[in-house]
Homo-oligomer: A and B are copies of this chain.
């Protein structure tokens, strides 16, 4: 598996991964009714550096890296990661997160923050903890989950 910057040619494969996750609406606090143009505008937002995880020519996952804030907060990075359903359980998310930590350090970021990790997303919470992130805040009932209703979200943070 290789992780590399996304190219224009990757767009359809990226949209095919990101769109269903946003429609499902269980993990990202992003509009659930975006069309493919809206999905692309979100994932390739102006401050986003986008990468893909590729194996044998297939895109298994994608992530973006961005400054979480500007001004006095610009030294803290933020990322979003998504893995293709068919590639779950193969360590794609872990590999992308490890890659993003290295890339964020390269770019001079001093920390990484996830603003809204839905508490029911157990696999993600556990993985980020294994990769050095702490839960530094709990947002009470801040996510309206399509199955579980209002659930907590976590703010997760690690120094770089």
Contact = CB atoms under 8 A, between A and B. Distances in A.
A33 to B, nearest CB: 9
How many copies the complex holds: the figure is: 2
Chain A's interface size range is 35 or more
B136 A29 contact: no
A95 interface: no
A28 B139 contact: no
Contacts of A22: 71
A143 B111 CA distance: 11
A70 B29 CA distance: 5
Contacts of A140: 111, 136, 157, 159
A73 interface: yes
19 contacts: A28-B71, A28-B72, A29-B71, A29-B73, A29-B74, A31-B71, A32-B72, A69-B116, A69-B142, A72-B118, A72-B143, A72-B144, A73-B116, A74-B144, A75-B150, A76-B142, A111-B140, A113-B142, A136-B138
